[in-house]
Amino acid sequence: MSGKKSKTKGKSYERDIANLLSELYNESFTRVPHSGAFIGGQNFSRIEKLSENQTRGFKGDIIPPDNFPLLVIEAKNYGEFRWNHLALKNDVKQLDEWIGQAEDSCEDKDKWLLCVKITRQGEFVLWDPSRFKDLEADNTYKQFFYTEASKFWQLNSAKVKEQSKKEIV
């Protein structure tokens, strides 16, 4: 797939996730315009110059509403995935890169979700259980949990919302 088609495919999935969450929570989620690590990875130092609200708008691929200040969502839409490596408990370099992107977009108390769509194979949500507590999962990859997307949201939507609120100190 060409670079332009691949970007269009990714943007389309980001919109799909934003629409799904908007409907699920009856609040406005939107995709980050021109998403792509504005404050992630090497650009993390930009956070120092941005307000809290500005920072929230550039974490991950989806901008959550104000009621979800700690939520960071990365969305990936790909044509192929090495399920055999996952099933055999081998490292999956592609998945490790996506997890790294999710982690790089977060500050200490943020809670990230990695939403993945693989063409003609399904959608999945992966997270770090040290950031989200007591979410229902079917599978593990290294220290991370994951499950099929519709099942994930059905079982965990209330917990995601509750745990994505600011902690009172």
| pTM of the complete model | 0.83
Domain annotation covers residue 169:
no
| 168 domain-assigned | no
Domain contains 34: yes
Chain CA centroid to CA 5, Å: 21
Per-residue pLDDT of the chain (169 residues; tens, 9 = 90+): 565 555 556 588 999 999 999 999 999 999 988 655 455 455 555 556 555 555 555 678 999 999 999 999 999 999 989 888 888 889 999 999 999 999 988 888 999 999 999 999 999 999 999 999 999 999 999 999 999 999 999 999 999 999 999 764 4
Q: How many domains does the chain have?
A: 1
Neighbours of 165 (CB within 10 A): 12
Q: What torsion, rounded to 10 degrees, do the Cα atoms 82, 62, 147, 152 define?
A: -160
**Domain presence at residue 105:** yes
Instruction: Classify residue 64 by burial, with Cβ atoms within 10 Å: 0-12, 13-18, 19+.
Output: buried
The answer to whether residue 159 sits within a structural domain is yes
**pLDDT computed for residue 84 by the predictor:** 87
Domain of 46, in residue numbers: 3-163
